[in-house]
Amino acid sequence: MVTAATPRTTYEPVFGWAKVPHPMSFKEATSVAVDSRDKVYVFNRGKNPLMVFDRDGNFLETWGEGEFDRPHGITVDGDDNLWLVDDLGHFAQKRTTSGKVLMTLGERGKPAPWQGGGIFNRPTHTAIHPTTGDVFITDGYGNSRVHKFDSSGKHIKSWGEPGSRHGQFSLPHNICMLGEDRVAVCDRENFRVQIFTTDGEVVDQWHSHRPIAIAAGKGADTNIYLGEAGAPPVQKGVRRLGLRVMVMDRDGNMLTHFGNELGGEGPDQFLAPHGIAIDSEGSVYIAEVSYTAYGSLQDPPREVASLRKWRRVGG
Amino acid sequence: MTTAARALGPVTTATKFEPAPYWAKLPMGVTFRGDATSVAVDSKDNVYVFNRGTHPVAVFDKEGNFIKGWGQGEFDRPHGIEIDAEDNLYLVDDGGHFVQKRTNDGKIVFTLGERGTPAPWQDGGMFNRPTDIAINPATGDLFVSDGYGNSRVHKFDASGKHIKSWGEPGTAPGQFSLPHNVCMLGTDKIVVCDRENFRLQVFTTDGEFVDQWHIHHPMSITHGRNGDTSLYVGEMGPPPVQNGVPNLGNRVTILSSEGEYLTYFGAPLPGQEPNQISAPHGIATDSEGSVYIGEVAWTFWFSRQPTPPLGEIVSLRKWQRVSG
């Protein structure tokens, strides 16, 4: 287990980490999770929506074909179960690491009314409380809410509404625990991370550039890893506008960051960070919706790299 | 008989504003073409609307009666306007890459930058699609936000001599992602709408970073007059992914001079109704506490609707301070 990163910590990209058996394909990796043995779970939009790799990038297995409408977010809980969120399917599912369904929240293909506060309208991500097993789900593209459930899937409460004031959301896109008593929400189109108690009281907000992906370090690594989306079209090509990973402490102070100043296909560049996870060695995995953001716009359209690993190398 | 306007206090959380629809009376044939980009008010409460229609500078009295219009053919793309303590006008043309000081009746005093000749993109020169200007009431120094193609603020003395520039692209303090409006905060600080960073940045007049205030997509900013030290911020709407979601920008948020949120006005969604605001691109206040909002309503909203409306689109709003 590693300790928390500091401002002196450095990272380097691991080029070509995932070895995908031909002709399987991610199309684009939406999100990634790492279990207690450092196995890596990639939730993607190809024909094989869930692919598993060891920490060296060797392929282990795949499952889930035909069982999802549009993969969006994945999280591992303290018992190495997976929580999968399907935004266009409007459901969240708890599964074993081998794919057995343990629980489904929401009903596949049945959205709650748009922005009406029900469960769900295009949910995005989950966070699992490490001791109580309570489940927090961001919802999402069509419903500016966080829903809280107990570990059995019973709905406890929901909070949030559309807007830009404290406690309101403009596209809550990712969520993670901050220790045991707080959750951090990527309030993506409000350019901030909002911090709440586990009962939904606003505690703080951290200004940030289009925060889209968030995860906490493992074990003694108490840091928060934040993936920033890029700028809107009006700022296309301008340097240092998102498309990087910020490493922060639990109070929201930036310690360091990595990623090239410009987006692109190079080993140290990002195109569209969308999901993030950290392993026991402090390495960072970043899933990118790079087909939606970039590959689909090429002539002809093509798949581009959508899963990045950055290894913690010093400090 | 004229009397001095009663002094206003700063806005409080209890202050109320009401829309004054149909305020500007446009002579048939004069149109803003949906983009009254910016607005300024002189010492007599006359209102100057820098727009992309038939008469780039349209002047109204405080009752909204049209006084005159001028500037045909003299601008490429109107963007920002400001008025100094002597009622001179400063006009910022982003498509033309220049800033112009003119007398109140339109005579050119000086031009900064050269029309049609941009500085290299994101390179720090003057100018690449500048956006707005602020004038220090104490010294006459000028602060130009620049803009779409150059993440900078340039400072000039009152004669137009370049003093310094600051900023670069980015998201850290002192960096910019589309500095879109600028205004004075007293005589020793300026506030910049760092539009695509969703924050206001406060600097000393020497360019030292002082503070940043998180806010939704800040597009325009001005301060109160006549004893009102509040800041009025026009917030742009959300990106297309959030179209139709209520309470996301398209409103005027009012802050204290310390950046504390006080109140706001504007309906939850943009549109043509009297209480709605669509893309508040420029903003000004008068001595009575009224707020004028110039909107790029065509460019940012109505041109993107499935069936864009015909005829004159609301792009200039007046809201009156009615209590508190």
Cβ neighbours of residue A161 closer than 8 Å, sequence gap 6 or more: A117, A144, A145, A167, A168, A169, B247
Give the residue-averaged pLDDT of B26-38: 95
Rounded to the nearest 5 degrees, what angle is found at the Cα of B147, between the Cα atoms of B192 and B111? Answer: 105
CB pair distance less than 8 Å for A189 and B238: yes
Per-residue pLDDT of A149-194, as tens digits, reads 999 999 999 999 999 999 999 999 999 999 999 999 999 999 999 9
The dihedral sign for the CA sequence B48, B51, B53, B55:
positive
CB pair distance less than 8 Å for A189 and B171: no
Give the Cα separation of A76 and A84 in Å (integer): 9
Predicted local confidence at residue B2, as pLDDT: 44
- Global pTM reads 0.94
Give the residue-averaged pLDDT of A201-210: 98
Q: List CB contacts (< 8 A) between B235 and chain A.
A: 164
Predicted local confidence at residue B227, as pLDDT: 94
Give the Cα separation of A105 and B270 in Å (integer): 35
Cβ neighbours of residue A217 closer than 8 Å, sequence gap 6 or more: A2, A4, A5, A223, A224, A225, A278, A282
Cβ neighbours of residue B286 closer than 8 Å, sequence gap 6 or more: B41, B45, B47, B62, B225, B292
Q: List CB contacts (< 8 A) between B239 and chain A.
A: 189, 232
- ipTM rounded to 2 decimals: 0.92
Residue of B nearest to A207 (CA): B214
User: Which stretches of chain B sit within 8 Å of chain A by CB?
Assistant: 122, 148, 151, 168-172, 175, 177-178, 196-199, 212, 214-216, 235, 238-239, 241-242, 245-249, 261
Predicted local confidence at residue B3, as pLDDT: 47
Q: List CB contacts (< 8 A) between A190 and chain B.
A: 198, 216
CB pair distance less than 8 Å for B245 and A232: no
CB pair distance less than 8 Å for A234 and B198: no
Cβ neighbours of residue B96 closer than 8 Å, sequence gap 6 or more: B75, B76, B77, B115, B116
Residue of A nearest to B241 (CA): A141
Residue of B nearest to A171 (CA): B242
Q: Within a 13 Å sphere around the CA of B308, how many CA atoms are in the beta-carbon half? A: 14
Per-residue pLDDT of B202-227, as tens digits, reads 999 999 999 999 999 999 999 999 99
B38 within 8 A of B29, measured Cβ to Cβ: no
Instruction: Give the three-state DSSP class for A178.
Output: strand
CB pair distance less than 8 Å for A240 and B169: yes
Q: List CB contacts (< 8 A) between A241 and chain B.
A: 169-171, 177, 196
Return the residue matching tokens 């006009």: B91
Residue of A nearest to B247 (CA): A163
% chain B with pLDDT above 90:
94
Question: What is the distance in angstroms between the Cα of B219 and the nearest Cα belonging to chain A?
Answer: 14
A128 within 8 A of A165, measured Cβ to Cβ: no
C-alpha torsion angle, residues A250, A253, A258, A261 (rounded to 10) = 140
Other CB atoms within 10 Å distance of the CB of residue B317: 29
Q: How confident is the model at residue B5 (pLDDT cuts 50, 70, 90)?
A: low
CB pair distance less than 8 Å for A239 and B171: no
